[in-house]
Amino acid sequence: MTIQFNDETFRDDYSFKNSEWAINRFPFPFHEDSYMYSVNMEQHRGGPKESIFEKRFDVDEHYVSEMRDRAMVLADDPLRCQSLPHMTLAGWDLLELIMVSKSEDYPDLFELHRDKDNWRWVNKPLGIDDSFVFLDETTLPYGPMEYITRQAQGDFCVLDQREENLWMDAGMITTQADWSLDFDIGMNFFEWHAPVPKAHELGIFTRALKFLLNVQQGAPARRLNWTMTVNPLLDTSPENYHKWGIQKTSLTPENLGSKQHLRVELQTFFRLPRSNALVFPIRCYLCSFQDLMTRPKWGRRLHRVIRDLPEELATYKGFIDNRPMMLDYLSQFDDGLPTSPGVFADLDTEPALQK
């Protein structure tokens, strides 16, 4: 299909919106009526047609506007993109991975022409047509990681692997759920996860690290994570907390359905072959509560999950103060009927709301 790219904003007037197509493919993250951490990894090798799991790097209707928002964030704060000196080769790995994947998965949008090390990259949605020499930084306008991630939705952590650990040694982080690359740069897996409650006691991180160290070339993995965001903000960074944190107090029972968004991250993991580093793309999908409620199963389930979520998690995810108001809203969409297993909305088989 041909994607119609939205002209929209993720700041100021918040003109971001999801089409019916985008709501249909929204990665609702709860496969049952409750939620607890788990090492919920699976292989990232396709998925149902048109779902966000289908392609290696999903491109959707928000692509062009998200890239414009990223450029604005970087113009204000260049430290959102950093790469320690030893990570340049990993940057080339990432550039190769994204260019090859996108040109194969979306041949109508992206083209890659390779003649040995002389490459030409055509990005039609962004109007880019650049020729450069692979592995020669002087032939690109930015470093290889910055160049390609200015053209790819989602944040990218590029992790060096050594000493049986992963190190946050490079990244492009402009659409994050309240963490800072500038703060975390150079940290290892346990250091940057230190603030997460409960998961340490559950032994989650030790097991997750073992899994990640073993992610192999040609066998990428994925998982979903989620949080809550008031207004469709991509840039919920600690650096800008003074701008967006206050907006959490602007919720009212009347505007909650349109302002409160479920924020879901599709996290994928790819081994980078030339550097043996690991790239960890974190792709953010936003959907307003009122759009989610158009799918009866999601309405029933979201109410139950948010209602029963342990207090530490609601606090960590930053919506403990707004939870009562969210539950008032969500309870209107929960008639107590059972829900089908799995994350998909099952619009054809799930009954309409019975109240």
Partner 1 sequence: MSAAPQKTKPGAEKIAVTVAAVVRVNDLMTRFEFKRRDGQLFPPFSGGAHTVVEMKDGEKTRLNPYSLMSSPGDLSTYAITVRRDDIGRGGSLFMHRNVQQGDDMTITYPVNLFSLDLRAKKHVFLAGGIGITPFLAMIHQMEQSNGNWELHYSVKTKSLGSYVDDLTQMYPNKVKIYIDDQSQAIDLKGLLDGQPLGTHAYVCGPKGMINWVHATASAQGWPTECVHSEEFLAPAPGEPFQVRLCKSDIVITVGEQESLLEAIERCGVEAPFLCRGGSCGQCETDVVSADGEFVHRDHWLDDEEHASGKKIMPCVSRFIGTSLELDR
- Residue numbers at the binding site for partner 1 (CB under 8 A): 27, 29, 31, 40, 42-43, 45-48, 51, 53, 85-87, 89, 93, 96, 135, 160-163, 210, 213-214, 216-219, 222-224, 273-276, 342-343
Active site residues: 223
**Amino acid letter, 197:** P
Q: What does the alpha-carbon distance between residue 298 and residue 334 come to, in Å, rounded to a whole number?
A: 9
Q: Which is nearer to partner 1, 89 or 353 (CB)?
A: 89
Q: Which is nearer to partner 1, 329 or 344 (CB)?
A: 344
Q: Which is nearer to partner 1, 67 or 221 (CB)?
A: 221
- Beta carbon of residue 127, minimum distance to partner 1 (angstroms, whole number): 29
Q: Which is nearer to partner 1, 27 or 281 (CB)?
A: 27
Cα–Cα–Cα angle for 255, 259, 263, rounded to 5 degrees: 150
Q: Which is nearer to partner 1, 36 or 213 (CB)?
A: 213
CB atoms within 10 A of CB 164: 10
CB atoms within 10 A of CB 27: 20
- Beta carbon of residue 352, minimum distance to partner 1 (angstroms, whole number): 25
Q: What does the alpha-carbon distance between residue 28 and residue 30 come to, in Å, rounded to a whole number?
A: 6
Contact (CB, 8 A) for 39 and 77? no
Q: Which is nearer to partner 1, 28 or 192 (CB)?
A: 28
Q: What does the alpha-carbon distance between residue 173 and residue 161 come to, in Å, rounded to a whole number?
A: 19
- Beta carbon of residue 65, minimum distance to partner 1 (angstroms, whole number): 25
In this structure, are strands 278-288 and 155-162 parallel, antiparallel, or unpaired? Answer: antiparallel
Q: What does the alpha-carbon distance between residue 140 and residue 15 come to, in Å, rounded to a whole number?
A: 33
- Beta carbon of residue 67, minimum distance to partner 1 (angstroms, whole number): 25
